[in-house]
Amino acid sequence: MASQDWPPQSGEAAQAAVLDLACDWALANGLVLRPQTGSPAATTLGSKPGQLAIHAPFALYPSAFPRRLFQQALALQPVYNQLYADVTVDDRFLEHVIGGAVSKVDEFQGRLYEIWKQVKREGIMQPLSLGLFRSDYLVHAPTDLPAEQHSIKQVEFNTISASFAALSTRVGDLHRYLEQSGAYPPHAALSTSAIPENGALAGLASGLAAAHKAYGNDKAVVMMVIQDHERNAFDQWPLAHELLLTHGVRMVRVPFSELRTTLSHSPAPDYNLLYTPPTPFGSLPTPLEISVVYWRTAYAPTDYYTSAEWDTRLFVEQSRAIKCPSVGMQLAGAKKVQQVLAEPAHLDRFVPDDKDRAFLRESFTDLYPLDDSDNGKIALDKAYRECEKYVLKPQREGGGNNVYRTDIPAFLDQLAEEDKAKGITGTENGDAPRGREGYILMSLIESPQGMEQVLVKAGEARGTRAKVISELGVYGVVLLREDVDNVRGGKAELLVNETVGHLLRTKPVESDEGGVATGFSVIDSPLLV
């Protein structure tokens, strides 16, 4: 399908009618979020933000996506799940990759690393860890290659707080509804079967239920830890509803800061994690024993409001609750790990199967360190001489942290000046690592040109037709048992390894960053072509 053929062109009145129908459907079916405090919507609607909602940002039509590459991304997920599970339990690898330069130049990663080291010294209380992963891809479509030679390339692998499973499921439902209701103009590529079913919401809930069952106490509850003043509640509550209605498992949803005063451990040797709500609620007994701690926060320095949150993270890690993710699994999701795994020697060690290794490498783009190695020196030269081809990435989640193209040289110069002020000249002279060693250099992926979409911003019942880029995320679930007694040679035992759903995010071509929560993208669904 030619890019100029989609989405269908329609008159202003016809598009407005589709928009009205879509916005009403979104509000009626939970495709919503809370407005920002002080926003026009919040000011107009009232002063109780907990009772206000606006529709989430969405694409009016599903976006064309190559069926072959969509299926490839789904098939890749179990292989990636296995890889990152093995990284999670490989102490020597994490010590080498994170315990080296990364933990020394990145204070946030350094504090996570110290928690991980302390728990390892004390002895792990819970060998089970749950991963609700998402692997993100862009279509790589160089202009000199025909469409049948286009490929998917991995942007990043998320091991903590992989969001939008519920809202992405809702957007797929919205697009199927609009197609089935006859609201869309006729088009040869458009059919209900071309908009794939999305099991993301049910799949992540099923993963949480599997971890809860493995914990072994039916009376315990799952705890979702959220950011204070969370706007994205309606992507989170459906997981709690699905967990209860389908699996009979209760979930409590608690702001991170509240845990400072509400958590305790049962006496040794159990160290069960106990939560006492500040206000008694319903018929649940207190304190509540927690089976699984599901982190929907704690992935950025700003989530740790005070030193008490760092104490809380350690306290949770020291308990018998299953963590989603554990600190080790969160460290495994660092960008530096992604870069090191692209090196043949490391990938060969983790993935002995030739077919799986080749399959993974097809999805790799060029990744470089910025250290004093030969590859690091080559990368530094590229970052200055060919900066328009690259993005500089720190060890961060959540969007808005990368440095792109022509901004890279000045940023590297700034890091060098900061090193100079500290008296650091480089590890080759026995000094502390340079600031740039907390970053990786990644070649930019050449997305398809000329793709269009009608973007509907959050809370605004109007659409803007724009040239766009779409990023595909694939959700995976892993429940692993760490080999603490070294009976399997230190390898993880996977109790669950599944692909469970997808997310499509679409943004204007002029936007480098791609987060929905940060306002760059809308939630979309694929139209397989």
Distance between CA atoms of residues 362 and 354, nearest Å: 13
End-to-end CA distance of the chain: 7
- Which residue out of 151, 158, 206, 525 is catalytically annotated? 158
- Pick from 265, 167, 196: nearest CA to 523: 167
Distance between CA atoms of residues 190 and 187, nearest Å: 5
At 164, phi and psi to the nearest 5? 75, 20
The response to whether 156 counts as a known ligand-binding position is yes
Residues 6+ apart with CB under 8 A from 44: none
The response to whether 394 counts as a known ligand-binding position is yes
- Which residue out of 95, 114, 156, 258 is catalytically annotated? 156
The response to whether 393 counts as a known ligand-binding position is yes
Largest CA distance in the chain: 70
Q: Does residue 156 carry a catalytic annotation?
A: yes
Q: Does residue 397 carry a catalytic annotation?
A: yes
The response to whether 397 counts as a known ligand-binding position is yes
> Facing residues of 470 across strands?
506
Distance between CA atoms of residues 218 and 98, nearest Å: 37
- Which residue out of 317, 397, 482, 498 is catalytically annotated? 397
The response to whether 388 counts as a known ligand-binding position is no
The response to whether 471 counts as a known ligand-binding position is yes
- Which residue out of 320, 393, 434, 436 is catalytically annotated? 393
Q: Does residue 505 carry a catalytic annotation?
A: yes
The response to whether 401 counts as a known ligand-binding position is yes
Q: Does residue 386 carry a catalytic annotation?
A: no
Give the Å distances, CA to CA, from 322 to 232, 286, 292, 317, 492: 24, 20, 5, 9, 15
- Which residue out of 313, 323, 434, 505 is catalytically annotated? 505
- Which residue out of 335, 336, 434, 436 is catalytically annotated? 335
Q: Does residue 163 carry a catalytic annotation?
A: yes
The response to whether 230 counts as a known ligand-binding position is yes
- Which residue out of 100, 110, 376, 398 is catalytically annotated? 398
Listed in sequence order, the DSSP H helices in 370-527 are 374-385, 408-422
- Which residue out of 63, 103, 129, 163 is catalytically annotated? 163
The response to whether 236 counts as a known ligand-binding position is yes
Q: Does residue 434 carry a catalytic annotation?
A: no
> Facing residues of 524 across strands?
504
The response to whether 517 counts as a known ligand-binding position is yes
**Coil, helix or strand at residue 158:** strand
The response to whether 516 counts as a known ligand-binding position is yes
The response to whether 405 counts as a known ligand-binding position is no
The response to whether 78 counts as a known ligand-binding position is no
The response to whether 306 counts as a known ligand-binding position is no
Distance, CA of 518 to chain centre = 13
- Which residue out of 34, 134, 153, 176 is catalytically annotated? 134
Q: Does residue 67 carry a catalytic annotation?
A: no
Q: Provide the annotated binding site.
A: 134, 156, 158, 160-163, 230-232, 236, 296-299, 335, 393-402, 404, 442-445, 471, 505, 507, 513, 516-517
Active site residues: 134, 156, 158, 163, 335, 393, 397-398, 505
Q: Which residues are annotated as a binding site for Mg(2+)?
A: 156, 158, 397
